[in-house]
Chain A
Amino acid sequence: MTQDARVQDFVASFEVLRAEVEKVIVGHREIINHVLIGMFAGGHVLLEGVPGLGKTLLIKTLAEGLELSFSRIQFTPDLMPADIIGTNIIVEDADGRKHFQFQQGPIFAHILLADEINRATPKTQSALLEGMQESAVTVGGVSRPLPGPFFVLATQNPIEMEGTYPLPEAQLDRFLFKLRVRYPALEELNAIIDRTTQAHPVTVDRVMSGARVMAFRELIREVPIAAHVRDLASTVIMATHPAWEHAPEVARRFIRYGASPRGAQALVLGSKVRALAEGRFNVSVDDLRALAAPALRHRIILNFEGEAEGIDIDVLIGQIVESAEAATVQGKEPFLR
Chain B
Amino acid sequence: MAHPETLDRLVRRVAAQVRRRRIEHYALRGAFWASLVAVLALLFKQPLGGWALIVAVAALAVGTLGGALWGAVRRTPTADAARLADRAWQLEDRVATALEWAERPDRTPIVDALVADTVARVEQLEARMAARRVIPSDGRLLPIPLALALALALAPALPLPSGRLPDFSASGSEDPIEPRADATLMEDRAKPLAKDKLKSPAFEERDFATRAGGSGGAMAGDLSAIFKDTNLSSQRPDFQSFLKKGDDRLKLLEQADRLPDLQSDFTASQYKMVYRKSKSLTSGLRPDQISPQKLKELLEEMERLGRKGGANWQGDAAEGMEAMEGGQTDRAMEAMQRALDKMRAQDEASRSGKNLKGGRESNRSGIGRDRRGGDGGGPEDQDFGEGEGLLPGKGRSGSPKGEATGRLRASPYDVGVEGESRRGRKEGYDTNLTGKGGQMGSRLQYLGVIGQYRKMMEDAIARESVPRDFHSQIKDYFQALDER
Contact = CB atoms under 8 A, between A and B. Distances in A.
Interface of A: 2-4, 6-7, 166, 219, 222-229, 256, 280-286, 301, 304, 307-308, 329-330, 333-337
Contacts of B101: 224, 226, 282
Question: Which of A226, A282, A284 neighbours the largest number of chain B CB atoms within 10 Å of its CB?
Answer: A282
A158 to B, nearest CB: 13
B131 interface: yes
Contacts of B92: 280, 282, 284-286
A226 B76 contact: no
Contact of B100 (A222, A226, A334): A226
A277 B365 CA distance: 97
Contacts of B79: 227-228
B18 interface: yes
B94 A282 contact: yes
B83 A330 contact: yes
Interface in B100-134: 100-101, 107-114, 116-117, 131-132, 134
Question: Which of B77, B83, B110 neighbours the largest number of chain A CB atoms within 10 Å of its CB?
Answer: B110
Contact of A335 (B25, B93, B470): B25
Contacts of B396: none
B333 interface: no
Given A280-B92, A282-B93, A282-B98, A224 B131 contact: no
A226 B470 contact: no
B83 A228 contact: yes
Contacts of B112: 3
A103 to B, nearest CB: 37
B18 A335 contact: yes
Nearest to B94: A282
Interface residues of B, number: 39
B113 A2 contact: yes
A4 B116 CA distance: 10
B463 interface: no
A6 B83 CA distance: 27
Contact of A225 (B97, B117, B132, B134): B97
A308 B470 CA distance: 11
| 9 closest residue pairs by CB, A with B | A281-B114, A334-B80, A222-B108, A282-B97, A284-B92, A3-B113, A226-B97, A307-B467, A284-B93
Contacts of B114: 224, 281-282
Nearest to A332: B80
B96 interface: yes
B134 A224 contact: no
Given A304-B470, A334-B83, A227 B100 contact: yes
Nearest to A280: B92
A335 B22 contact: yes
B107 A224 contact: yes
B80 A224 contact: no
Contacts of A337: 80
A329 B76 CA distance: 13
Nearest to A257: B469
Nearest to A276: B110
Contacts of B71: 335
B81 interface: yes
23 contacts: A2-B113, A3-B109, A4-B113, A222-B109, A224-B97, A224-B107, A226-B100, A226-B101, A228-B96, A229-B97, A281-B111, A281-B113, A281-B117, A283-B93, A286-B92, A307-B467, A307-B469, A307-B470, A308-B467, A333-B131, A335-B21, A335-B76, A335-B134
Nearest to B101: A224
A329 B83 contact: yes
Contacts of A335: 18-19, 21-22, 25, 71, 74, 76, 131, 134
